[in-house]
Structure 1
Amino acid sequence: MCLFNTISAQEKKTDTLRVSIDSVQKTFSKRELRKQRRDSIKDANYKLDPLSPSRAAFYSAVLPGLGQAYNKRYWKIPIVYGAIGTGVYFYLENTKQYDRYRDAYKSRLAGFNTDEFWGTDADGNPKNTPDLSEDALRDAQEFYQKNKDLSLLITIGLYALNIIDANVDAHLKQYNMSDDLTLKPYMEINEINFNKNYGLTLTFKF
């Protein structure tokens, strides 16, 4: 009788263990099924457009900022126009100053003393000696010529950067980012010396 009770108890334990294993397997199967469904939904919603980067670059080449609008990065548009507009402003300002000194220098070479850099006396008549010599006018021309060329190069570079940004941004937008992979900073305090330790935590869920 005691032996029979022992065998029955062991059979009950075996049945209980089998039920537990089956429930765990079903739980994992349900989780895996839900994960597969989520992945299927992500794959269904994810559409790759190979022409999107080229299209964004073309739009920004035609009109700066248009590629950023195409990528829905509207906050970048003021930055694009601010950067390119600054370059254009300095180019025009240096061109204006260059023309002033060039016209005065050409007037001196022609034998006139009526340019704005010659100067006048109290009666409004031209001075005997100019405020700026011909050498000073020539140096000023060279200075503003260099600044004008530099401003032009910077403006062209910013225009090209606007195109590159639109192209790269369109490429990055097509990456299928997963919530199963995260990278974030962390900070912990050492319990021995109370120093702060910094690092990065890479988490991968599977």
Structure 2
Amino acid sequence: MLCFCFALFHLGLSAQEETPTETPKDSLQTELKEEGIMLSESVLSKVKIDPLAPSKAAFYSAVLPGLGQVYNKRYWKVPLVWGAIGGAAYGYKYNNDLYRRFREAFKSRRAGFRNDEFIREDGTEIFDQEALQNQQERYQRDRDLFLLLTITAYALNIIDANVDAHLQQYNVDTNLSMDFKPYLEQDALTAQVNYGLTFTFTF
């Protein structure tokens, strides 16, 4: 009796070792069968889950803005990413250059010099000292705003690539369609005509 139990235990272990690990596709197919849903192999073959894809997309966009969108095959987003980041960066540089010019002129005027670029050759002032200070503060605010916009556009570029890669994991098939069709049916026994509407979901 003891030998018989040992043999059964040994066979059970052997069967467990030889059972192949269930793949995500097999797991999905098993779950769908339990629900009474059958999918073809062509559809199941499209179910691919790459847990590293979102991280890769985010990393690529962090290294080079727009590269994550290329990785996700969202090529149309690349000009938008470059336009947003490039426009904000240009706005930062433009306002920073003007801020520096007015700041240098303001510091020079406060030191008692009258040789800055905002004084004409005849000695008249284009901007007095107070106006120089106001212009300096104005372009400083605009510069800081465009710096914030540049950082925001850069961060959104990374977030977009990451989220887009996540959402692509849920695409089972690209050929999805829904259709409504009327139908006409006649009862064979009563000869009564029935009208209705059918809803068709194709994938």
- Report the TM range for the smaller structure's normalisation: 0.5 to 0.7
Q: Give me the whole-angstrom Cα distance separating, in 2, the residues matched to 1:77 and 1:99.
A: 33
Cα distance 1:183–1:75, how it changes in 2: closer, same or farther (>3 A)?
farther
Q: How far does the alpha carbon of each residue in 1:89-135 deviate from its partner, in whole angstroms, 9 at most, with x for none?
A: 110000010011001011111111111112222xxxx23xx231111
Aligned residues: 148
Q: Distance in 2 between matches of 1:106 and 1:46?
A: 66
Runs of 4+ in structure 1 deviating by more than 6 angstroms, as ranges, are none
Q: Is the contact between residue 65 and residue 81 of structure 1 (CA under 8 Å) also seen in structure 2?
A: yes
Show the counterpart of 2:12. Answer: none
**% same residue:** 53
Q: Secondary structure at the match of 2:178?
A: strand
Q: Shift of the alpha carbon at 1:41?
A: 2.8
After TM superposition, the structure 1 stretch with the greater mean CA deviation from structure 2, 44-53 or 140-149, is: 44-53
Kindly tell me: are residues 169 and 149 of structure 1, through their superposed partners in 2, closer, same or farther at Cα, counting changes over 3 Å? same
> Partners in 1 of 2:61 and 2:93 — Cα distance?
23
SS in 2 for 1:36: coil
Correspondence for 1:65? 66
- 5+ residue gaps, structure 1: 1-34, 185-202
1:140 is matched with which residue?
135
Q: Which protein is bigger by CA-based radius of gyration? A: 1
The one-letter amino acid paired with 1:45 is K
**Contact 1:71 1:170 survives alignment (8 Å):** yes
Aligned match of 2:7? none
- Say whether the 8 Å CA contact 2:57–2:69 is kept in structure 1: yes
Shift of 1:84: 0.6
TM (norm. structure 1) is 0.65
State how far apart, in whole Å, the 2-side matches of 1:183 and 1:71 are: 29
The aligned amino acid for 1:41 is S
1:150 aligns with 2:145: yes
TM-score (norm 2): 0.66
